[in-house]
Structure 1
Amino acid sequence: MERVFELRDAKGKTTGHIRQRVVSLGTEQNKKETLTTATALLKSGSYDERNRLLFLRDLTFRCRRDTAFTDGLAQLNPDQLSSFRDRIFTYSPTPLAWPNQPAVGSELPQGGISVDVRSSAVDIAQVYTTVRKRRVTGQEPVTTPAGTFECYKVEAERESGTIARADIKLRTTVRVIDYYVPGMGIVRSEVYDKKGKLEQVQLLTAVHTAGGEVEKAKYKVKKS
């Protein structure tokens, strides 16, 4: 299975694409073997407007009981690490939880990723992205090139930054609105700057099944 997303700027111009392809499925168990988690390993590639590969990375999505979890690594912009050449990176992701039956007005746990940057001798910096203040604010239909979806609207704040020392912290904060469909994931995502101006839109454009077909269907959720 493969999902394809289109990136657009505030004026609606296409600036790139993201392709996420499932390469393996598996399970994990806790130490007491009382809880099983289903896992999906994805190859996620980001491409520019000319379809040239910018970066490729592995993401692990999980599903446990009534909640799906997306990889916190997906929140990291590789440009945040571009100034640290020939350094050692230690990644500590925190998955983002997406309940199968969220309630409008409910809050969701924060998630994201922290990256410790160091040389062989010393610690250099901590690079992070945190998605916080996540709240389910409503339900509404959303139409994308992949179809029409009945979505939960999830609003949040995303902070990205670099901490070089305890007294030096560079950060940026944006507002994010995700339109989420249980069983499908995010079909539309909007990013706004601190002044409330739209910066970027990410749209689901196609879902390719293992047989190579494109699914375009209406996904519905029960109204609260």
Structure 2
Amino acid sequence: MHAGQNLEYQILNSKGKSTGAVRYRVVSISTDSVAHKKNKAVVTTSVRLKSGLYDPTNLVLAQQDLTFFCRNDTTFTDGLREINYEGLKSFRDRRMTYQGTPLAWPNQPAPGSALGEGGALVQVSSPSVAIAKVKTTVLKRKLVAGRIPVTVPAGTFSCYMVKSERELATAARADLVLKNAGREIDYYDPAVGIIKTEYYDKKGKLLQSRVLARH
């Protein structure tokens, strides 16, 4: 990535029809070095991005600031990338605070290896009371295949495949939690990033996909 770069993902429904887009703009890139064990420096490169969700008419539906970073041989995407905007529709005009847990993407992963979970937590509140927590968790992530060719509008890329479970939850209180579970398959090229993501319901039916259109 480089400052000023623009990336775009097309959002496709189960029939392959475009229903919108997600666009990213790289705002800045910075590098920090911190001394670690045996005086060996650990270098972290951070990328700040502006993210926008758009409908088919190019209307902005949501915007978010994100931070991706790279440390050693692993890249981490911001957990806030996983926000469940559908689950937030009923809480319009409320105060929201955001917390993300990054998702790891090894540059040279071993097929069959497990990856840590991550996602987004949104606390919805009014000035006087907490209303609900809307959470997206990507868990039980497993790298199931070595590099395979994946073709999207932006081109053909050599990708690793990661299968995960995806859980959406809305908690109005501790004893009232509405959950919706499904599956997710990600294809990523360490030199480029996430190339394609497919979302399925718990029965294995394809619901939506996001494909890289330009980078």
TM-score, L = length of structure 2: 0.89
* Residue 26 to residue 189, structure 1, CA distance change in 2 (3 Å): same
1:164 aligns with 2:172: yes
Aligned with residue 20 of structure 2, among 7, 10, 16: 16
Residue equivalent to 1:95: 102
Q: Distance in 2 between matches of 1:103 and 1:47?
A: 36
Where 2:202 maps in the other structure, the secondary structure is: coil
Residue equivalent to 1:5: 9
Aligned with residue 110 of structure 1, among 99, 106, 117: 117
Where 2:90 maps in the other structure, the secondary structure is: coil
1:120 aligns with 2:124: no
Q: Distance in 2 between matches of 1:192 and 1:95?
A: 22
User: Would you say the 8 A contact 2:84–2:135 is kept in 1?
Assistant: no
Q: How far apart are 1:85 and its partner, in Å? A: 4.2
Q: How far apart are 1:181 and its partner, in Å? A: 0.6
Aligned with residue 138 of structure 1, among 142, 145, 160: 145
| Structure 1 gap segments, 5+ residues each | 208-224
Q: How far apart are 1:188 and its partner, in Å? A: 0.9
Where 2:87 maps in the other structure, the secondary structure is: helix
Q: Distance in 1 between matches of 2:201 and 2:132?
A: 25
Where 1:82 maps in the other structure, the secondary structure is: helix
Aligned length: 207
Residue equivalent to 2:44: 37
* Residue 128 to residue 31, structure 1, CA distance change in 2 (3 Å): farther
Residue equivalent to 1:64: 71
Residue equivalent to 2:205: 197
Where 1:134 maps in the other structure, the secondary structure is: strand
Q: How far apart are 1:53 and its partner, in Å? A: 1.9
Which region of structure 1 is more displaced relative to structure 2, 103-112 or 158-167? 158-167
Q: Distance in 2 between matches of 1:55 and 1:106?
A: 34
After superposing on structure 2, the runs of 4+ consecutive aligned residues of structure 1 that deviate more than 4 Å are 28-34
Q: Distance in 1 between matches of 2:19 and 2:131?
A: 33
Indicate the RMSD between aligned Cα atoms, in angstroms: 1.9
- Counterpart of 2:203, as a letter, is K
Q: How far apart are 1:28 and its partner, in Å? A: 4.2
* Residue 29 to residue 44, structure 1, CA distance change in 2 (3 Å): same
Q: How far apart are 1:167 and its partner, in Å? A: 1.0
1:188 aligns with 2:188: no
More strand by share: 2
Which region of structure 1 is more displaced relative to structure 2, 197-206 or 100-109? 197-206
Q: How far apart are 1:198 and its partner, in Å? A: 0.7
